[in-house]
Structure 1
Amino acid sequence: MALLYRATRLKDRADSHVFTFVVTRSATREPDRDVTSKDFCCAHQRWAVAFSRTDASLGVYLVWRGVCEGMRVYVDFTFTLLSRDHFTANESFSGKQVRFNAGCAAQGRGRLVSIAELNTKFADARGEFQLELSMSRVRTLYTCELRAPRLDTPPFAFAGFDWSVSASGGSGKDPLSLRLVRLSGEGQLCRVRYALSLGEGDRRIQSGSLECLCDGDGRTPPWTPRPPSRLLQKGARLTVELLWARALSELAIPVAGRASTCYDRDKQAWGLRCDTHSELVRLHMLYRDVHHVPRNHLRYVSWSAWLVRTTTAPGEADAIELPGAPFENYYAQESADEGLMMETALRVEEVSRAGCPYVHPGGELRVRLEWGDTYLLFQATYHVYDDLCRLHAHQMRREIAVLQAENYSLERQLFSYQKSLAYAQAQASEPAPVEGGGRRSPAERSLSTDTEYA
């Protein structure tokens, strides 16, 4: 088996995720057994790690589970076998913007390490070893042809939802209008970021990055290409780049009353109550289904929270994000959860005043939760405080790798300069040709050793 042991998000520009797997001896001692990890999510796509075994070597592959016709995913990934002795002895290979599509859903290397070297350098006494997978710069693109009279794309899957792009107009005097539509998750709010482009080459029209709230009916605001475009009978090529889509839960919480209940993407129950026993209003987040976490496992959950205003002025956001967001926590199997306190910027005395911009009719606060990453991890002996050391370790290893590459480049430049200097000195030390009459040339006379110079 390949068990997902830890997951770390580095929060860099490339949005790097590092997943660590504990691989049992079945990967090397049972060649006829298919060893594949459980599915995990990264960049709103489902993935798995699979192993191939021969008599002499072990191979590893990254497998895209969300295969969809017309969709392709590009990933920078690196597989690293972690040495038991020193990190400089790790064995790794990487790929840049590797393409996954319906015809090629698995990418990797069939011979990563020999079985003998694996048992000597990487496996412990039980035959288990750790494999690290780093994923970054994940891009999801969906392409299809729009052709009259069919002006809706076939369904495609992303972030646990089914989607389609609906087109209207494009004939007669009506300009073409495109709209991203969510087909599944009825009644579920979500926030989505995407980009549309129509056509190819020099005539390609792009929308740029679009971010909007997708309502319970799955509707998003339409996009009208500028300059106005018309869909001809011969059709047009549509490309959708899907950046992210996050499920939302919006609930009303009585200022003085019982907790309100909501559910995350995994249908797990959560409770949220208002706490007014300090200077600032606090929100108490409770994981009500904590007893459903499998034994000897951890469930990592992250989310963000906003306080929704009663009314908004033009150009003003309809909600303010809570300080300290995003929030994250690890949960192990327990009979009950003690909860996590989220501070707000709202003072308790403001809540009791008439006209408070955050108190809705009925004396309640409206809170919007946006669900982020969630992972089920093997081994329950871990805590959120351990994340900092783990993050620093990944960062230091990457900094060392960058410095090593820079040092190698500087050494090559220095060698090149030394080679050029030696060539120039060799040219200068060659004897000048003797001119007629036995007289020395001016250059030769200037190199006279009669006078020494400091």
Structure 2
Amino acid sequence: MALLYRFAQLHDRSGTRVFSFVVTRTVVRDPERDVTSKELVCGFQRWAVAFSRGEKVLGVYLVWRGASRNLRVYVDFTFTLLNREHFSMNESFSGKRVKFTYEAPAQGNRSYIAVADLYSRNFADTNGEFQLELSMANVRTVYMTEVRMPTSVFSAGQTKPSKLETDYFAFGGFDWNLVIYPHGKDADGCRGQDSRMSVYLMRLSGFDHRCRVRYSLALGEGERRIDSGQIEDISDAEGCGFGWHTRVRWSDIAHKGTLRVSLEMLEARTICEVAVQALGTSVLPAAPCYDRDKQAWAIRADLNSDTVRLHLVYKDIHNVPRNHLRYVSWSAYLLRGEGPNITAIGLPGEPFSRYYVQESVDEGIIMETNVDMNEVKENHCPYLTDKGQLRIRLEWNESHLLFQATYHKYDDVCRVHNQQMRREIVSLQAENYSLERQLFSYQKSLAYAQAQQQQQQQHPNQQHHSVVGHQGHLERSASSDTEYA
């Protein structure tokens, strides 16, 4: 069994996530048993860690759980076995831009480490358990397919289809597909008047939530190719967004009735929008909302400050499994405007995150805003609706269920490694400082030697010039006397 134990997010450009697992002795002692971890989410895709037991060697694999046809996922990943003695003895292997496909959803190393080395090199403890870290970064999801206009002979009165659809694929916990209108789409969903192509990204599942999605789309190949650039859209309760309305016709980019479609999915985040009462009685009511896992939350406005504050409470905190942690990350926005022109203003300090353990009641978390209380009381706040409410958007980023809610001996390994690395860094800094001082001393000595050499070269030259000049003066004097005589 492999238990997801700890999670860390590095705020770097690669979007690195580090997952720590505690691997029990059944992986080593029961070679006939297939050991696979529970699913985890990274880069809006579902993954798992699997182990294989061969002839005296242990293999480990990263398995893509959301495999779909025509979908490819690229990821940088690193597996690291944590040594209980010193971090320099950790055993790692990694891959860059590793491709996962429907035909090959698992990638890894079948000869990661010898089983005997787990004990002799101090990876496993006395219970036969060891720790494994998985680092993932630069996760890219690319969907590529071709759509073809039917070329069969149409009977009288029968027209070509007004839309073409691709097969579905998984991303962000939802199923999606592309709907292409070769001749455009008007308000009634029929063929458009200007025959310009339109493309819609449709969500086929999870209709109990809205979703903010970001993607880029390309149609055609070679000189016929057109790119949409990054598109940010809101997938409504019916799974439809605003779409991409091109300026070209089907015949401009299709080749022999076939169109090449390339889609890169960047993010898909579940959102919920609530109206929070900001005017009224001293104790304002709380507005209920739900996250991606259908867990209940409540949010209310707190007016006991110079600015409006929002109090978010996890109502289903009692549903967290015993001896587990639930890590939740979210972003919060104030909304202004309507429809496509809506503006979302992020709250200071977002994104927010917190660990939750099983308790009877959650005390909640306070989120500050920049909304002045005087503007709210005087009803001059641009975020207030006619009913005296603030519209809040909660965007659920990540949620992970972690084993072991309290500090444990497994945490000691990382803390020891931390201290060892700090000592190594201090030692390297001292050594680097010493080398820099030696280098400066060598440069100073070299510069002094070069200056001395230049002075020695200039001194004989000056003496030579003075002697030659004196002789020339005597010769000129003698010549003048002779001529005068």
TM-score, structure 1 as length reference: 0.81
The verdict on how the C-alpha distance between 1:311 and 1:98 changes in structure 2, with shifts beyond 3 A counting, is: closer
**Mapping 1:7-406, distance limit 5 Å:** 7-120=7-120, 121-149=122-150, 151-170=164-183, 174-226=195-247, 228-230=249-251, 231=254, 234-255=257-278, 256=281, 257-309=284-336, 318-381=343-406
1:61, 1:107 within 8 Å by CA — same for their partners in 2?
Answer: yes
Aligned residues: 394
SS at structure 1 position matched to 2:119: helix
Aligned-pair CA distance for 1:180: 1.0
CA distance in 2, matches of 1:205, 1:161: 27
Aligned-pair CA distance for 1:310: 5.4
CA distance in 2, matches of 1:323, 1:16: 23
Query: 1:203 is matched by which residue type in structure 2?
Result: R
Aligned-pair CA distance for 1:309: 2.3
The structure number with the bigger radius of gyration is 2
The verdict on how the C-alpha distance between 1:265 and 1:316 changes in structure 2, with shifts beyond 3 A counting, is: closer
- Residue-by-residue CA offset, 1:253-303 (whole Å, 9 max, x unaligned): 112421111100000000101111121211111000000000000000000
- Residue-by-residue CA offset, 1:297-316 (whole Å, 9 max, x unaligned): 0000000001112579xx98
The verdict on how the C-alpha distance between 1:348 and 1:382 changes in structure 2, with shifts beyond 3 A counting, is: farther
What is the percent sequence identity of the aligned residues?
Answer: 55
- Residue-by-residue CA offset, 1:55-94 (whole Å, 9 max, x unaligned): 4110000000001111111111111101111111110111
Higher helix share: 2
Instruction: Tell me the residue number matched to 2:462.
Output: none
Aligned-pair CA distance for 1:142: 0.9
Query: 1:162 is matched by which residue type in structure 2?
Result: D
1:300, 1:376 within 8 Å by CA — same for their partners in 2?
Answer: yes
| Unaligned residue ranges in structure 2 (runs of 5+) | 151-162, 185-192, 433-485
2:20, 2:131 within 8 Å by CA — same for their partners in 1?
Answer: yes
Instruction: Tell me the residue number matched to 1:430.
Output: none
2:335, 2:342 within 8 Å by CA — same for their partners in 1?
Answer: no
Instruction: Tell me the residue number matched to 2:483.
Output: none
CA distance in 2, matches of 1:279, 1:236: 58
Aligned-pair CA distance for 1:361: 1.9
Aligned-pair CA distance for 1:31: 0.8
Aligned-pair CA distance for 1:233: 5.1
Instruction: Tell me the residue number matched to 2:456.
Output: none
Aligned-pair CA distance for 1:159: 0.6
CA distance in 2, matches of 1:96, 1:242: 20
TM-score, structure 2 as length reference: 0.76
Query: 1:130 is matched by which residue type in structure 2?
Result: Q
Deviates more, 1:257-266 or 1:199-208: 199-208
The verdict on how the C-alpha distance between 1:338 and 1:225 changes in structure 2, with shifts beyond 3 A counting, is: same
CA root-mean-square deviation: 2.7
Aligned-pair CA distance for 1:199: 2.0
Query: 1:129 is matched by which residue type in structure 2?
Result: F
2:234, 2:241 within 8 Å by CA — same for their partners in 1?
Answer: yes
